[in-house]
Amino acid sequence: MNPNCKKRMGAIRLEVMRVVSQEEIAPAIFELVLEGEMVEAMKAGQFLHLRVPDDAHLLRRPISISSIDKPNNQCHLIYRVEGSGTAIFSRLKADDFLDVMGPQGNGFDLSELDDYCKVLLVGGGIGVPPLLEVAKQLHERGVEITTVLGFSTKDAVILEDELAKYSQVFVTTDDGTYGIKGNVSVVINEFDTEFDAIYSCGAPGMMKYINQTFHDHPRAYLSLESRMACGMGACYACVLKVPDSEIVSQRVCEDGPVFKTGTVVL
């Protein structure tokens, strides 16, 4: 693969990015650092559609951008090995190259938040990574951030220390082996703070809870997953229904992955 290959097809951007480093940060969870010009265009909450470097895998794999380092043209991705595609990613080493489409999707709307504002971040499991860039950017503006993270067990806890640099962090585990026993609702239901915005990403059950709890909040956002094929809005493999409509749908790859609460059926 030619490491200098870059092309734009309409609004779709493809680039062969260089692997800067890769590290296993928790059992089966890897942090991959990539370098390339595409970083300049990245926003918090967008994702990259990664070609698996193996000809047997035709579909790209979507992975969220965890943090963005524009001065160094680098971005961080954090992913869990689920199947054969992510297993192949986990074997990438420094100075390998990866064919990347992106940045894809809309990202989180972080506008109009300043040092008078209070924001709640809610992340679950491998949904935590995209919230790191949100925390970084809002902290720079002086926003007061509270983060609630939910994991299955102690071994699965990631990014607690990194998020603690920017926010007050509460951790829950389902089995009580770390932090508060239970899920994020145990913490969130006790808050009496009026948050100006809520940003969340996690498993379907957590997203349903946030969608219900903050249904009518004007600035509550869910970052959602769906099985994807093209990843660029063309195939409609990733659609979600819209409330009270049989015909209108939303594509997670193009209209999302970030949606306001109350705007899609979960």
Ligand X SMILES: Cc1cc2nc3c(=O)[nH]c(=O)nc-3n(C[C@H](O)[C@H](O)[C@H](O)COP(=O)(O)OP(=O)(O)OC[C@H]3O[C@@H](n4cnc5c(N)ncnc54)[C@H](O)[C@@H]3O)c2cc1C
Question: Cα–Cα distance between 84 and 34 in angstroms, integer?
Answer: 20
- Long-range contact set of residues 225-230: C-beta below 8 Å, sequence gap at least 24: 225/62, 225/252, 225/257, 226/252, 226/253, 226/257, 228/49, 228/59, 228/60, 228/62, 228/252, 228/253, 229/59
Taking the CB of residue 60, how many other CB atoms lie within 10 A of it?
Answer: 22
Question: Is position 230 an interface residue for ligand FES (rule: CB under 6 A)?
Answer: yes
Structure tokens at 54: 């193996």
HEC readout, 197-210: EEEEECCHHHHHHH
Binding piece for ligand FES, criterion CB under 6 A, among 32-40, 117-125, 140-148, 222-230: 222-230
Question: Is position 251 an interface residue for ligand FES (rule: CB under 6 A)?
Answer: yes
Q: How far is the CB of 206 from ligand FES (least distance, A)?
A: 22
Question: Cα–Cα distance between 232 and 218 in angstroms, integer?
Answer: 27
Q: Among 14, 180, 203, 229, indicate the residue that binds ligand FES (CB under 6 A).
A: 229
Which residues ranging from 66 to 125 are in contact with ligand X (CB under 6 A)?
78-80, 82-86
CA dihedral 244→247→251→254, nearest 10 degrees, is -110
Q: Among 91, 236, 248, 265, indicate the residue that binds ligand FES (CB under 6 A).
A: 236
Paired residues of 6 in beta bridges: 15
Q: Which is nearer to ligand FES, 19 or 237 (CB)?
A: 237
Q: How far is the CB of 94 from ligand FES (least distance, A)?
A: 31
Question: Is position 63 an interface residue for ligand FES (rule: CB under 6 A)?
Answer: no
Question: Cα–Cα distance between 16 and 2 in angstroms, integer?
Answer: 8
Number of residues this chain uses to bind ligand FES (CB under 6 A)? 12
Question: Is position 49 an interface residue for ligand FES (rule: CB under 6 A)?
Answer: no
Q: Among 12, 16, 19, 59, indicate the residue that binds ligand X (CB under 6 A).
A: 59
Which residues sit at the interface with ligand X, rule CB under 6 A?
A: 47, 59, 61-64, 78-80, 82-86, 126, 129, 225-228, 257
Which residues sit at the interface with ligand FES, rule CB under 6 A?
A: 228-231, 233-238, 251, 253
